Structure 1
């Protein structure tokens, strides 16, 4: 299994989990969850999206289709070494996980959607970020290539000590550690197109979904999670609402709750799949 730059694999059993980071993020934001799932016996693969963990120009040279191609290729690689494959994503990574489930039901046994972001509509977001749907037009016209939405306090993290460490990493200039300090307009434009695409595909998803969202998410409001619960109709959707976290639920105060719920979700589906196969034999 080939590994790119900051990707990593934790070898485990025959149930695999691929974890997907968010826009301008890195696989590191999934590391805590990855280790927790690995301790439960799963093989875990944290994929790096195309254009990420480098410079802003690296990111702007890619589109949402490139990011999705990273996910689909990663899932195909992981599937070769496991019997059951689950996919989990944070923020924009959740959109990519949902798209994979819609596009490739042959690969995906279940989806964990963490702090899904169809829109930047959380309570800390500047009002103009809610007009992100206009950015694809800007990109098509060549407007705003070097403009960014800078990250705003509290940076998706409720835990103050953790927030200080993450912000220091973001401002260090090493994007492979904690990602870029801002969201380039053209990258947000691509995410907006991805969001619209996934919205239309939610009704095609046949894999069970675990939707994890903070009620006080500062970046993406609870409406983003509710959209999944409302539109995924061909598979069961389980919702976990967190009361003591902000957007970065994979590293914030309730990360252990997120890990334990994900383990329970995966084990239940694997058990049900095994029983169904046994009954059919």
Structure 2
């Protein structure tokens, strides 16, 4: 399956500090590329994988499951672990869910967690029908492209594949159940005006994690895909300061 131009994964070999970067559901590495490049420019070793079924077609995504996406993230973590002695995980939306799973799965290998509008649950009552609907309707209208800044486009699908969405719900359930296992320093950046992920996700995260080092920053001038929105520079600056603080290294 051909990868869409601009949706390619990103990797950079630098210092012994690693940054694992995760993009969101139906999106592509393009949404997280500015952060990945900023980290690379600072001298860090960076891995931004393209999740299976993403950056190609929505039909392709519908043939994958959350375990496939996690396997790709975990493989990227293994690459970093072989090269680095400190790793920080960074994720947007479902990428935040996967970054959280990385922190849960590798409590001594992930040294910090940066989450941007992470997803853990959805309050939409229509999702109750999803277990049956996924077998009848292959896709619904897109959830991608929620950006306030004019003229900016997210490289993401124009349809939401329902089998993949149902699998993502299973990922949410597991990660939410195990949120108390998260003990790492946490930087949460979230948008009060988010048309994809409800505010309950951030509330749930802060209430259930066991981290004692927690920083919350509101992205007041951005919607869901905040990494491409008006607060992108703020996100990058805060991420860089966080990585330096929790690893004790500027590169």
Query: What is the TM-score normalised by the length of structure 2?
Result: 0.90
Matching residue of 1:241: 218
Cα gap change, 1:193 to 1:42, in 2 (>3 Å): same
The 8 Å contact of residues 133 and 192 in structure 1, kept in 2 or not, is answered as no
C-alpha separation in 2, matches of 1:119 and 1:200: 11
Q: Is the 8 A contact 2:17 2:85 kept in 1?
A: yes
Which of 124, 131, 137 does residue 136 from structure 1 map onto?
Answer: 131
CA distance in structure 1 between the aligned counterparts of 2:125 and 2:27, rounded to whole angstroms: 20
Q: For residue 78 of structure 1, what is the aligned residue in structure 2?
A: 80
Q: Which residue of 1 aligns with 2:151?
A: 161
Q: Alpha-carbon deviations, 1:188-242, whole Å to 9, x = none?
A: 1111111111110100112111111011112113221111111002442211111
Q: Quick one: which of 141, 151, 162 aligns to 1:149?
A: 141
How far apart, in 2, do the equivalents of 1:67 and 1:192 lie? 13
User: Residues of 1 paired with 2:143 and 2:96: CA distance?
Assistant: 19
2:105 corresponds to 1:103: yes
Q: Distance in 2 between matches of 1:216 and 1:268?
A: 29
Q: TM-score scaled by structure 1?
A: 0.81
Count of aligned pairs = 243
User: Shift of residue 264 of structure 1?
Assistant: 1.0
Query: How far did residue 39 of structure 1 move?
Result: 2.4
Deviation at 1:267, TM superposition (A): 0.9
- CA RMSD between the two structures: 1.9
After superposition, the Cα gap between the structure-2 partners of 1:81 and 1:120, relative to the gap in structure 1 and judged at 3 Å, is same
Tell me the distance in 1 between the aligned counterparts of 2:243 and 2:161: 35
CA displacement at 1:99 relative to structure 2: 0.9
Residues 10 and 33, structure 2, Cα contact 8 Å, conserved in 1: no
Match of 1:218 in 2: 195
Q: The residue matched to 1:85 in structure 2 has which SS?
A: strand
**2:136 partner SS:** coil
For the 8 Å contact 2:139–2:159, the answer to whether it is kept is: no
Q: Which residue of 1 aligns with 2:47?
A: 45
Report deviation, 1:106. Answer: 3.0
Q: Secondary structure at the match of 2:188?
A: strand
Residue aligning to 1:60: 62
In structure 1, C-alpha distance between the alignment counterparts of 2:210 and 2:131, rounded to whole Å: 29
- Distance across 1 between alignment mates of 2:103 and 2:128: 24
Instruction: Please tell me whether Structure 1 or Structure 2 has the larger radius of gyration of its CA atoms.
Output: 1
Higher helix share: 1
Whole-Å separation in 2 of the counterparts to 1:187 and 1:102: 22
Cα deviation, residue 73, structure 1: 1.1
Matched residues in 2 for 1:239 and 1:130: separation? Answer: 28
206-215 vs 38-47, which moves further: 38-47
User: In 2, Cα distance between the equivalents of 1:210 and 1:130?
Assistant: 30
Any conservation in 2 of the 1:18–1:44 contact (CA below 8 Å)? yes
Q: How many Å separate the matches in 2 of 1:98 and 1:134?
A: 27
User: What's the counterpart of residue 232 of structure 1?
Assistant: 209
Asked if structure 2 preserves the Cα contact closer than 8 Å seen for 1:136 and 1:190, the reply is no
State the match for 1:190 in structure 2.
167
